[in-house]
Chain A
Amino acid sequence: MAETRTIVALPITPRLGAVMRLRLFLILGVLIMWEATAASGLLFRDVVPSSVTVVRALVRLLIDPDFWGNFGVTAGEVLAALAIGATAGLAAGLLLGASRFLGRAYEPYLNSLAPTPKIIFFPVMIMAFGVYAGSKVAMGALSAFFPVALSTAGGMREVDAALVKVGRSFRLSTWQMVTKIYLPAIRVPVLNGMRLGFGVAVIGVLLAETKLSNQGLGYLVMQAYARFDMPQMYAILLVVFAVAVALNAGLGRLTEPRHRRT
């Protein structure tokens, strides 16, 4: 039947140069196509503005204190959402993963709710948490909950049984079992869940802001759209994109395997 396949781990570093070049090549290609489309005038007015205009709008945006106020609002909402959603998800995942019985009972719910677009719960959230930041945080938290809960529960089942036996033989308390064995053992799946959770929390918060709000980046985007200020809209999107990429990379570094301290 299936024969054993040897997976050879190739060193990554020597190839990084080529990979980077390929990536930059793609970005360059997109930029060229973008400029060509903008110059051609084929599309309605400012739908694809020249990148020069976008950069100018970006600079204007970055020196505007009003923008930073809205940025702060959204950032605060996302962080609060991630804190609440990830904590709840971690707790739920630990319980579901620790008890085969609870896991069998409730994980089907999680699995079917996870891919549901959370925006359909927005009206409920508005009624429960008001039209201001509360409902946005709730949307983000709800979105972040599922990936964290699912990957925590999955991680719990993968914990090496031998390590659990070691903990029991040293007579650890339940609290010590969780903090000294389970949590470190599931660090990588939990952090991966948080990465996904962070992504969907941003989506949840921004989406909610575009629907109903009077502050935040989602609100600014809709304002720019209403004024048909496309360069500003793209500028805001660029900022959101840059922040998301940076934070994702930061979280990714935490999941790297441990090496010797030097």
Chain B
Amino acid sequence: MSDPTVVPWPRPVSAARPESVLTVDDILVRFQTRDASVTAVDRMTFDVRHGEFISVIGPSGCGKSTLFNVIGGLITPTSGLVTVAGEPIRGPHPAIGMVFQEESTFPWRTVLDNVAFPLEVRGVSRRVRLEKARDVVAMVGLTGFEGHYPSELSGGMRQRVSIARTLASEPKILLMDEPFAALDEQTRLLLGDKVLQIQQTLKQTTLLITHSITEAVQLSDRVVVMSYRPGRLKRIVDIDLPHPRTSEIMTSDAFGHYVAEIWGDLRDEASRGMAEAEASRGART
């Protein structure tokens, strides 16, 4: 069914593509529930190149978070492989840093201690880790809030703390699962600019899970489009927009062209999802 040859992106062969730091190879995830088995991710294959910003987009419930957890080593796939620098991963990999969809700051730690956390568990001395944390806090624009507890911050600021915490661990590959989903449009745009700016400065290899088309186009070098259940690879779109980009690029014609293209792919999927949801609601009543 899911014939990988229809994908305009060749199957990654680690030896042939030395520049790809992460490969997702034929990943299949099936959840066994009490009376049924759900295929959440169906044979996804793509790769991530060094220093690139890649987005995975798809309608709600298509298996994005599942894929995210598989790449992060938190879920073992039913079949398939994730490799980092050619090595298959077993469990969380030291080269990968994750920012979760849910609220995940430690409420009992100040902003600075939250951000210093990954260094602390690695045994970095207090002086060094706090200095480093202060730099990263500045990077996400939270200078002045180092001593605050998460409960004293806004949702957007807390999300920045989560991002900073993962950045502080200096991951070779940064994974983010809809980090801006809970935010309002304005904050989301500004935070997107911020993340892109950091990514460009650090040449940070980044994989962003999102369901916002504009966000994906604005930030990415490539966009991986997923289909609605079971989550399959629909297409990979190269975004050829000049850097540095800010949210202002959204007014350009090229930008609109990419958005329209991806929306064309997603529209069928999204409406299929809605139809399915309505059908199952009808069946229940």
**Chain A interface residues toward B at CB < 8 A:** 160-163, 165-166, 168-172, 176, 180-181, 184-185, 187, 257-261
Majority SS at the chain B contact face: loop
Contact present for A169 and B149 (CB under 8 Å): no
Can you name 20 A-B residue pairings with CB atoms under 8 Å? A160-B102, A162-B104, A165-B98, A165-B100, A169-B72, A169-B74, A169-B92, A170-B117, A170-B118, A170-B121, A171-B91, A172-B121, A176-B121, A185-B108, A187-B108, A257-B151, A258-B149, A259-B152, A260-B147, A260-B152
Q: Are B108 and A258 interface neighbours, CB within 8 A?
A: yes
For A162, the chain B residues whose CB sits under 8 A away are 100, 102-104
Instruction: Please give, as numbers and ranges, the residues of chain A lying within 8 Å of B91 by CB-CB distance.
Output: 171
Given A168, A187, A259, which contacts B74 in the complex, CB threshold below 8 Å?
A168
A217 to B120, CA, bound (A): 47
Residues of B within 8 A of A160 (CB): 102, 104
What residue of chain A has the Cβ atom nearest to residue B118's Cβ?
A: A170
Chain A residue numbers with a CB within 8 Å of B110 are 260-261
Least CB distance from A166 to B in Å reads: 5
Assuming the A-B contacts A180-B121, A260-B147, are A165 and B108 also in contact, with contact meaning beta carbons closer than 8 angstroms in the complex? no
Specify which chain A residues have a CB less than 8 angstroms from the CB of B147 in the assembled complex: 260-261
Closest 4 CB pairs of A and B: A162-B102, A162-B104, A169-B98, A184-B108
User: Is A163 in contact with B104, judged by CB distance below 8 angstroms?
Assistant: yes
Q: Beyond the given A165-B100, A169-B92, A171-B91, could you list 5 further A-B residue pairs with CB under 8 A, ordered by the A residue number? A: A162-B103, A166-B98, A257-B151, A259-B149, A260-B149
Which residues of B are interface residues toward A (Cβ below 8 A)? Answer: 72-74, 91-92, 94, 96-98, 100, 102-104, 106-110, 117-118, 120-121, 147-149, 151-152, 165, 169
Kindly state the separation between the CA atoms of A195 and B152 in the bound complex, as whole angstroms: 28
Q: Which chain A positions have C-beta within 8 A of B74?
A: 165, 168-169
Name which residue of chain B comes closest to A185, CB basis: B108
CB-CB under 8 A from B165, the residues of chain A are 166
Which of these, B92, B103, B108, contacts A168 with CB under 8 Å?
B92
> Please, which residues of chain A bring their CB within 8 A of the CB of B106?
163, 166, 181, 184
In Å, the complex CA distance between A187 and B106 comes to 13
- For A184, what are the chain B residues with a Cβ–Cβ distance below 8 Å? 106, 108-109
CA distance A161 to B121 in the complex (A): 19
Residue of chain B at shortest CB distance from A173: B121
Residue of A nearest to B162 (CB): A166
Q: Judging by beta carbons under 8 Å apart, are B152 and A169 in contact? A: no
